[in-house]
Amino acid sequence: MPDTCPKPTAQTSPPERRLSQSSHLTTDPKLTLPATTDPPSSTNPPSPKVWLVFGATGHMGRSIVKAALQHNDLVCAVGRTSETSITAMQDWYPAANDRFLGLLCDVRIRETVAAVLDKTMARFGRIEVIANCTGYGVIGACEDQDEFEIRNQFETNFMGTLNIIQLSLPYFRERQEGRYLIFSSTSGALGVPGLGPYCATKYAVEGLIESMLYEVDQYNIKPTLVEPGHLRRDDVHSASSPVESGSGGGRTNAKLKPPAGQTTQTQTQTHGDADLPLYGHFKVLRPSAPYSSADAPAKHAQRLVQWYGNNQPTSVVKAAELVWQLGHSSYPPLRMLLGTYAVESVRDRLKSVTEEIEDWKHLHYPAIEGMEEGDGENPDKDGEGDAEDDDDDGDGDGYEGDEVGEVDVRREKGQLVDHAKAVKGEDVDMKDD
């Protein structure tokens, strides 16, 4: 269900005043990042930062905007061109006009991202934290999803993130400081039936940011992957986004209904000749015959969002408070999981992977001849190997080689023998790896 509060006007109280009255966004001591991150506190007061928030009209994005404004930071909130108008974005927070800038952008188009960066710099003179909350998914079996939607998910979720990073990195590198808060998902850590392509985009984002972490650390640029669980829209006491205020939304209620006694934010969006229901930022495909049964695994994601409705277990407002702290922390983590669901699901996934590795670790395939370990070809008479016998590399550590920085003598000898045969015109034995 959309928020019912109107957008800020001259007759309503200023957004930051109402935010300060909200019990959710107070500095609750229970909602503090670990001391190892050096978060803001009474003994470590934060200085105002300039935030650039992409996807600011979504429930996570707008909660970050409000949290940052409440803490006296400066914010450029970027909405989607397909959702709202520039006028609605600019009028979103009139009472905080000196600290707020509203813009529009399509992250799939590099020129619009570059324009947002330029306008933010022109207005505030600097950018210190970039939060990317853009993204959408399509719920449906992998077989049912068409090429357009699959490519569009990658263009938005992955290429959009890459566009933001590539265009802003030169500025952060020159500044020798910068912070990226890239919103991923638990779907970037485990596959979800019914969200195959969406999970693929999140896996791609995770790989991108984890790789980039090592490349930009020397420039004091800190990227963090924020992985929320199921976020509840419990911010109805504060200003709604321009989209939900009726500025350019243009959406109607969908036909799909949640379980009895629950409500959910459902909308429709035209896709070809059909109207696809929307659950939050997920479109829902009509399943084909092989995946249409009520208990089909491919419908798991749809059943999940229908069941939760607006009753997701994780508070988006409290999550936004932690994200604000993250933006001001000196030593942020690579990943930050938000909510019990996120922690437990990722932990179970890692446990499953570890158990699978243990089940199959006895299988190994040596790369070249002479690299076999424990293959039984030259066992000791007593059936047990001594440390000296196993110490083929002669370094006294009881292991066969392959240590970091050492030369594998057997491999080198094998290559020299093959080279000598080739020079003499003899046949070189070629064996499968």
Q: Which of 325, 355, 385 is the last residue of a domain?
A: 355
Q: Are residues 100 and 229 in the same domain?
A: yes
Give the bridge partners for 53, in sequence order. 77, 131
By DSSP bridging, strand 231-232 and strand 74-80 are unpaired
Helix segments in 125-194, DSSP class H: 147-153, 160-175
Q: Which of 334, 355, 376 is the last residue of a domain?
A: 355
Domain contains 298:
no
Q: Are residues 100 and 175 in the same domain?
A: yes
Domain contains 297:
no
Note the pLDDT tens digit of each residue in 244-290: 544 333 333 333 233 333 333 334 444 443 455 555 677 887 888 88
User: What amino acid occupies position 184?
Assistant: S
**Cβ pair 61, 53 in contact under 8 A:** yes
Task: Tell me how far apart the alpha carbons of residues 178 and 169 are, in angstroms, rounded to a whole number.
Answer: 8
Find the helix packing angle between 196-216 and 160-175, rounded to 10°. 10
Domain contains 32:
yes
Q: Which of 293, 328, 355 is the last residue of a domain?
A: 355
| Sign of torsion over alpha carbons 331, 333, 334, 337 | negative
- pLDDT above 80 for 99: yes
**Which residue would you say has higher pLDDT here, 296 or 408?**
296
Q: Are residues 394 and 342 in the same domain?
A: no
| Sign of torsion over alpha carbons 229, 231, 232, 234 | positive
Residue 208: the pLDDT is 96
Domain contains 262:
no
Domain contains 109:
yes
Q: Are residues 231 and 378 in the same domain?
A: no
Q: Are residues 343 and 376 in the same domain?
A: no
**Cβ pair 239, 93 in contact under 8 A:** yes
Residue 363: the pLDDT is 82
Task: Tell me how far apart the alpha carbons of residues 181 and 226 are, in angstroms, rounded to a whole number.
Answer: 7
Q: Are residues 320 and 414 in the same domain?
A: no
Looking at the structure of the chain, the number of domains it has is 2
Task: Tell me how far apart the alpha carbons of residues 330 and 350 are, in angstroms, rounded to a whole number.
Answer: 28
Global pTM value: 0.69
Domain contains 259:
no
**Residues 6 or more apart from 73 whose CB is under 8 A from it?**
48, 49, 50, 51, 99, 324
Q: Are residues 379 and 334 in the same domain?
A: no
Domain contains 265:
no
Q: Are residues 213 and 340 in the same domain?
A: yes
Task: Tell me how far apart the alpha carbons of residues 94 and 298 are, in angstroms, rounded to a whole number.
Answer: 45
Note the pLDDT tens digit of each residue in 47-56: 999 999 999 9
Task: Tell me how far apart the alpha carbons of residues 373 and 387 are, in angstroms, rounded to a whole number.
Answer: 13
| Sign of torsion over alpha carbons 134, 138, 142, 148 | negative
Find the helix packing angle between 110-124 and 160-175, rounded to 10°. 40
Residue 368: the pLDDT is 72
**pLDDT (mean) for 345-363:** 85
Q: Are residues 61 and 176 in the same domain?
A: yes
Provide the residue range defining the domain that includes 200: 15-250+313-355
Q: Are residues 327 and 412 in the same domain?
A: no
Q: In CATH, what number is assigned to the domain containing residue 212?
A: 3.40.50.720
Q: Are residues 351 and 382 in the same domain?
A: no
Domain contains 328:
yes
Least trusted range by pLDDT, from 23-32, 213-222, 246-255, 318-327:
246-255
Note the pLDDT tens digit of each residue in 403-414: 444 434 344 444
Q: Are residues 237 and 168 in the same domain?
A: yes
